[in-house]
Amino acid sequence: MPKIDFKRSKKWIKELNKCIRCGYCYELCPLFKSLNWESDTPRGKLLLIYGMINGEIKPTKDIVDKIFQCFYCKNCSDNCSAGVPVTDILTDARADLIEAGFEVEGTIVKIDEDLCSVCGVCISLCKYEALSIQEQNKEKGKVIVDKVECRGCGLCVAACPSGAITQKQGCEVTLPELHERASELLRENKEMKALVFICNWSLFPGMQLSESPTIVKTPYGVIVSMCSGRIAPELIFNALEEGAWGVMVAGCPPEECDHNGNYKARRRLVLLKNVLKELNIEPERVKIEWFSTGESAKLSKAIDDFVNKLEKLGPINMEVSKIIGG
């Protein structure tokens, strides 16, 4: 086990004492909602950091993995009544662990060197400057990830043209998982007209901890993604093919997205709509709209309006669209 002195984390000891461990941060944590272990909550992470600093626990692979599992949505630190800067503490703990030489995975992106063409698309879109090219020899460099700076937002994963960037599955945010969730919703509820991807950052209050599947059946299904910038076109195509009458993407308003993922989503959807036209599918079946935190009433109305519109359009005639699309 590497030796470690937690010099950055130790400066937060007073803040760690301020955390009264009320646990109110659970409500807001998307990671806890998908994993359900208390060790995945912001409170759990602070406890683990506190325990490591004071020597009660040693950093094991399991603990380190928990510390590197976070999407930095900052719902916890923005809403902590005790004002504990959860994500700042987490970043310093990560830096201490990386410096000590720990191998980490968590929600940090991984690059498959064999697939990566070093085109640099990912580097220009990473707001956190977590990706860079490391020169290896005169002909070839390789893209490397700064594991402290990577926020796990997943924009690079959705944008990589070679599919070389991946993230560990299990937190319900990777493309295959979002696809699986969409298929599951459409399978479970045959009455479902619209699939709505909403951004965790702006709209977390819509997420509930409890389930009442037998009671509430809506003509739409909601999937929380970590950022609208994660919504790749294939997700939307898959949903339409599997029975959705339309797909709505709800993102943060311009200037409010932490990673500028909303602009990327919008650009992608414009292109996608053009393709839909070619396939003889009405482009208005795909919609993107902006919502700020606290605008759940506006969201709810927008979803109702969208469902009404889809009901007028009726289901997609896949046979026709396939013939025309060739």
Task: Name the site residues for another protein (rule: CB under 8 A).
Answer: 13-14, 17-24, 26-27, 36-39, 43-44, 47-48, 51, 54, 56-58, 60, 62-63, 65-66, 80-83, 208-216
CB of 27 to another protein, least distance (A): 4
Question: Which residue, among 274, 194, 197, 279, has the nearest Cα to 232 in the 3D structure?
Answer: 197
206 versus 253: smaller Cβ distance to another protein: 206
**Of the two residues 44 and 229, which places its CB atom closer to another protein in the complex?**
44
Beta carbon of residue 49, minimum distance to another protein (angstroms, whole number): 11
Closest CA to 206 of 214, 283, 216, 271: 216
Q: CB nearer to another protein: give 37 or 162.
A: 37
- Residue 98 or 313: the one with the smaller Cβ distance to another protein is 98
For the CB of residue 304, give the shortest distance to another protein in the complex, in Å.
14
User: Sign of the C-alpha dihedral, residues 288, 301, 285, 162?
Assistant: positive
Which residues, at least 6 apart from 43, have a Cβ–Cβ distance to it below 8 Å? 19, 21, 22, 23, 25, 26
**19 close to 82: Cβ distance less than 8 angstroms:** yes
Is the Cβ of residue 138 or residue 215 nearer to another protein in the bound state?
215
Q: Are strands 220-225 and 246-251 parallel, antiparallel or unpaired?
A: unpaired
| Backbone angles phi and psi of 197, in degrees to 5 | -95, 120
Q: How far is the CB of 8 from another protein (least distance, A)?
A: 18
DSSP string, 287-322: EEEE--TT-HHHHHHHHHHHHHHHHHH-S--HHHHH
Q: How far is the CB of 207 from another protein (least distance, A)?
A: 10
